[in-house]
Structure 1
Amino acid sequence: MKVGVFFNWQNHLDWDRYRAKGTEPPIVADATIYDEELHLAGLVEPLGFDSYWAIDHYVTPYGMTGGVMQHLSNIAGRTSRIDLGTMVLVLPWYDPMKVVHQISALDNMLQGRRLTLGVGRGAAIREFDGFRIPMSDARGRYEECLAIMKLAMTQEWFSFDGEFFTIPETTVRPHFRNPERLLADMKSGWASPASLPLAANAGLGMLLTNQKSWADYRKDVGDFNRIRSENGWAATQPTVVVRAACLESSQEAWDAMSTYTLEGQRSSANHYQLDDTERLLNTKGYEQYAQRRKADPTDEQIVEAAARPQAWGTPDEVYDRLRLIQQLTGANEFVLSFRYGTMPVELAERSMRLFAEEVLPRLHKDDAPLDVELSGRAPMAGTLDPGHG
């Protein structure tokens, strides 16, 4: 098993001031969040983790990376061993020529280390508005940008003529260092059922971003690999995102997981504004988000759905929970979140260090099997676990 880490770069305490468009100083400065998260990011390589992953968010306190490619270029310069990944690079927001040049430059900076490109189309109204991109154009822009990326990685000279992008014959410099590997490793995250077949038919891999139950993801993995099989491609294994709280006592770990996951989920709801069902219903490609919208869950329901099935507890308990998630999803790589909500940086560091000392070596020795149902070669026999991611 491979194990990576990501951080949220989240200023959860600033939501009230943000929504009121206040101009007074925030309770916690964004610069403080950056200092703390950079400290934690600096532990990923020396503690023995395999990779560092970055999110791509703007505009709100939810995730303040300010651009995933710039963020990872900084991390590349701070490290020498670990691989890097995007989760996800939101393609509709960007000019594809800028994206392919940024990817190529980072690929060269890594000098042979692996760059895994997780790609997606985004779902936050505020971010699309901030970039002056109509959300209704997201799918078309995503598909064209992905096509241009593939052209740039397979042809030295290329051109493109689409609905959203027209590119005269051009090339990318520096040349990609590892274009075949970049293409082979490219993954897609999805939340809506309509996005799964699009990703599978595009030949992408799977990035399960912890937005539904592990049982639902199990079905998704089987369906995804069945589509790959119909295209003549081998089955693939997902990279799976999991929240972690690895502490000396099970109770302390549960207190941390439940408290700070609840804050993180509330922050996500604020950012994505999924309660704006009228706008979503009238936005092409996002109707299903509104149709799946249910009444606002209680705090207890959020905790049971979003915190209970995660990797929390003593080191032995965390290991056992991750092994169960591997069985359910067929993961060959985990990407762990050790800090969410307003979790103190000291608590997150303690959790990371204990995990690295007592859990990480065991996972590194483990195989990562993909059972026949998940490979798409057999019908699903039913769910194994009611838990949610």
Structure 2
Amino acid sequence: MTLEELADPVQEDVIMHVGYGAVFQNPGNALPDAEVYRNELRLAEMAEPLGFDSIWSVEHHFDDYTMCPDVLQFLAYMAGRTSHVKLGSGVVVLPWHDPIRVAEQVSLLDHVSNGRVILGLGRGLARIEYDGFRLDQNEGRNLFVEYAELVLNALENGYMEGGRFTRQPRREIRPRPARSFKGRTYAAAVSPESMPIMAKLGVGLLVIPQKPWDAVKKDFGVYHKVWREVNGTTPIPKPISGGFCVVDENKDRAEELAMKWIAANYHTVMKHYEMTSPEFGTKKSYEFYSNVGKFIKKTGADAAARDFAMLMPWGTPDQVLEKCAFIRDTIDANGVMFNFSFGGMPYEDAERSIKCFAKYVLPELKKWNTEPLVDPAPIASSAAAR
């Protein structure tokens, strides 16, 4: 398939949103954490000059899997190091936080970045993290739903109050939110049971490819149905798709690097989430994940890692564009967010991949016809103060 066949007719100012993800992995503690941070920050600071539209990271704790315990703090740093890229949390794991602090931190970040925040939320899965925060993972979904409702309402109304778990006395959010988060809030959803929840919350979906695309498409059918039932004619947000990307002009080298390092990344996933443990997927509202553990047990960890790698956008620039087009067409995405440094990949390989993507793939993605991400609408100061 040619580049011309992949692109739709160009419309001015209507382009695919392309984000850069930083994950701060240190598999096996092979490097000093300080060295990981020096390199990952250096790569992240290349994103804006290279033409990426946003910079993202994800919250994780307590091991070498992803060493970004405070994604909003990282994004505040990047706000000061950049001028116009959007700043995405992919995700803030709500059950691990006090919701009123999350609302305050998000409002502050949006003020200091002049409205550049894309808010991504999630509920978390790893036992090491729930146990580390002394939380009952069986309540993970209930905590997520309550905290999400509290945070989203606070960011619109300027105050937080209530909650069965939270019992928050009414308090103002200061600085008061200046811009609405409607249309620029997303949530990670993997299990089918999460789709109605996200639709009822009125948030878009962050998709990290990790199961067959036919199953993802089926999940979206549920999400769209519930959205229309709950939100009526309010437009359904288009999703943003993440992923792990390797791109190289040499086809064989691209495949070698992708299969080595994306597979290595999935081995860190299996380790962090204890996917082969008998306890994986046994907590309340996490039962779906037991199927993942059964699949890995049946196929073996190496085969599961290869399957994961095959879902990702890697290859030559033309191959990556073709895979991006497949993702766009399958879930009607208007944005992608790719990680380029992961699994212990040498930083010189990651940097070469990023630059190759920026030179050959990014300009073509920006020709694709899709709806832009929502620009934040101002909130009247009187409304926020009520």
The aligned amino acid for 2:284 is K
8 Å Cα contact 1:58-1:65 kept in structure 2 = yes
**SS of match in other structure, 1:354:** helix
Residues 293-324 of structure 1: per-residue CA shift (max 9 Å, x gap): 31433355234411123222221221122112
Name the SS for the 1:359 alignment partner: helix
- Map 1:287-366 to 2 at 5 A: 287-294=287-294, 295-296=296-297, 297-298=299-300, 301-366=303-368
Q: Distance in 2 between matches of 1:280 and 1:259?
A: 27
Structure 2 CA distance for aligned equivalents of residues 310 and 88 of structure 1:
19
1:138 to 137, 140, 164: 140
For 2:127 and 2:279, the matched residues in 1 are separated by 12
Deviation at 1:163, TM superposition (A): 2.6
Shift of 1:123: 0.3
- Quick one: distance in 2 between partners of 1:157 and 1:6? 31
Aligned residue number for residue 4 of structure 2: none
Q: Which residue of 2 aligns with 1:216?
A: 215
Question: Quick one: which of 144, 152, 156 aligns to 1:154?
Answer: 156
1:87-142, Cα deviation, whole Å (9 max, x unpaired): 111000001111111001000011132x1111111000000111111111212211
The residue type equivalent to 1:285 in the other structure is S
Cα 1:112–1:276, aligned 2, differ >3 Å: closer, same or farther? same
Give me the CA root mean square deviation: 1.6
How far does residue 287 in structure 1 lie from its aligned partner after superposition?
Answer: 2.5
1:172 partner letter: I
Unaligned runs of 5+ in 1: 15-26, 370-389
Task: Please give the secondary structure, in 2, of the residue aligned with 1:4.
Answer: strand
Please point out which of 70, 73, 81 is paired with 1:70: 73
Q: CA 1:347–1:157 in structure 2 vs 1: closer, same or farther (change >3 Å)?
A: closer
CA distance in 1, matches of 2:316, 2:281: 41
Name the TM-score, length of structure 1 as normaliser: 0.87
Q: What is the match of residue 94 of structure 1?
A: 97
TM-score in terms of structure 2 length: 0.87
Q: Partner of 2:260 in structure 1?
A: 259
Matched letter for residue 130 of structure 2: F
Q: What letter corresponds to residue 111 of structure 2 in structure 1?
A: N
Contact 1:8 1:55 in 2 (8 A): yes
Q: Equivalent residue for 2:279?
A: 278
8 Å Cα contact 2:183/2:237 also seen in 1: no
Quickly say closer, same or farther: Cα 1:157–1:9, change in 2 above 3 A.
closer
**Is contact 1:117–1:187 with CA below 8 Å preserved after alignment?**
yes
Do residues 57 (structure 1) and 64 (structure 2) align?
A: no
- How far residue 56 of structure 1 moved from its aligned partner, in angstroms, is 0.5
How far is the alpha carbon of 1:198 from its aligned partner? 0.9
Which whole-Å CA distance do the structure 1 matches of 2:76 and 2:67 have between them? 16
Change (3 A) 1:110 1:353: same
SS of residue in 2 equivalent to 1:46: helix
Query: Take 1:279 and 1:261, find their aligned partners in 2: how far apart are those partners?
Result: 22
Q: Percent identity?
A: 34
Shift of 1:262: 1.3
Unmatched 5+ residue regions in structure 2? 1-15, 372-386
**CA displacement at 1:276 relative to structure 2:** 2.6
SS for the counterpart of 2:190 is: coil
Q: Which amino acid aligns with 1:350?
A: R
CA distance in 1, matches of 2:153, 2:370: 33
Q: 1:262 touches 1:299 (CA, 8 Å); kept in 2?
A: no
3-state DSSP class of the match of 1:277? Answer: coil
Distance 1:299 1:288, change over 3 A: closer
Is the contact made by 1:5 and 1:51 (CA closer than 8 Å) also made in structure 2? yes
Alpha-carbon separation, structure 2, partners of 1:183 and 1:341: 34
Does residue 241 of structure 1 match 2:245?
no
Q: Paired residue for 2:176?
A: 175
Aligned residues: 352
Q: CA–CA distance in 2 between the matches of 1:153 and 1:118?
A: 14
Is it true that 1:121 corresponds to 2:120 in the alignment? no
Matched, 1:228 2:196: no
Aligned-pair CA distance for 1:214:
2.2
Counterpart Cα distance in 2 of 1:65 and 1:193: 27
